[in-house]
């Protein structure tokens, strides 16, 4: 019964879920794009603020893991994948290094993430930020830095729940304030 109520709430209104367990890795440097482009099956995000869901491949062309790649700047990429892939991702990136110049930072221990989904997700988020959350201002599969409860948050317009939604990634110290603001708004 409890699960049915949660599903109904997300389908009809809005729901929030803590997805902090996701792996969160930052790759930056002059050769970050070249490395990721060489290791992934899909086209890399071309513009800052764009998002791609892709598979990371090994040297034989077989799938190592699935990851979301967010282009934060020309030479800065944020990767998100399942929690159990963190060490595999870090090892794979390090093992595939040829002569590229890039740095890998595991953010998982220091960063939290929340998922806000449902037809009222925009209303709840809009009550907590001044960012333009319209379809034109914040398109599907795009990323922006926004402010919630006085904290800078990386907001990704995406949803694996099949509803309107955002993933919100932030330093651990901001998560409770962001969560409380969203909860109070919706």
pLDDT digits (tens, 9 = 90+) for 114-130: 999 999 999 999 999 99
CA–CA dist 109, 130 (Å, integer): 29
CA–CA dist 35, 159 (Å, integer): 27
Q: What is the pTM of this model?
A: 0.93
Identify the CA nearest to 15 among candidates 181, 134, 171, 183: 183
Give the model's pLDDT for residue 36: 96
Give the model's pLDDT for residue 46: 95
Give the model's pLDDT for residue 161: 75
Give the model's pLDDT for residue 64: 92
Confirm if 151 and 177 have CB atoms less than 8 A apart.
yes
In 32-171, alpha helices (H): 32-39, 86-95, 121-126
Which residues of the chain register pLDDT less than 70? none
Give the model's pLDDT for residue 162: 76
Q: Which residues, including other chains, have CB under 8 Å from residue 104's CB and lie 6 or more apart? A: 25, 26, 27, 90, 93, 94
Q: How far apart are the first and last CA of the chain?
A: 22
CA–CA dist 168, 175 (Å, integer): 9
Give the model's pLDDT for residue 100: 85
Give the model's pLDDT for residue 184: 97
Give the model's pLDDT for residue 97: 84
Confirm if 136 and 31 have CB atoms less than 8 A apart.
no
Give the model's pLDDT for residue 102: 94
Give the model's pLDDT for residue 62: 93
């Amino acid at each position: 019964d409890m699960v049915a109520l949660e599903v109904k709430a997300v389908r009809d209104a809005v729901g929030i879920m803590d997805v902090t367990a996701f792996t969160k890795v930052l790759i930056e440097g002059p050769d970050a794009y070249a490395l990721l482009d060489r290791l992934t099956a899909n086209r890399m995000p071309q513009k800052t603020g764009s998002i791609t869901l892709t598979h990371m491949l090994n040297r034989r062309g077989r799938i190592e893991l699935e990851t979301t790649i967010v282009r934060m700047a020309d030479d800065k990429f944020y990767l998100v994948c399942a929690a159990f892939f963190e060490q595999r991702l870090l090892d794979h990136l390090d093992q595939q290094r040829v002569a590229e110049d890039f740095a890998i930072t595991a953010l998982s221990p220091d960063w939290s993430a929340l998922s806000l989904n449902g037809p009222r997700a925009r209303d709840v988020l809009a009550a907590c930020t001044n960012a333009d959350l319209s379809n034109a201002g914040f398109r599907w599969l795009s990323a922006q830095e926004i402010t919630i409860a006085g904290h800078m948050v990386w907001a990704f317009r995406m949803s694996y729940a099949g509803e309107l939604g955002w993933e919100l990634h932030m330093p651990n110290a901001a998560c409770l304030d962001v969560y409380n603001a969203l909860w109070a708004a919706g």
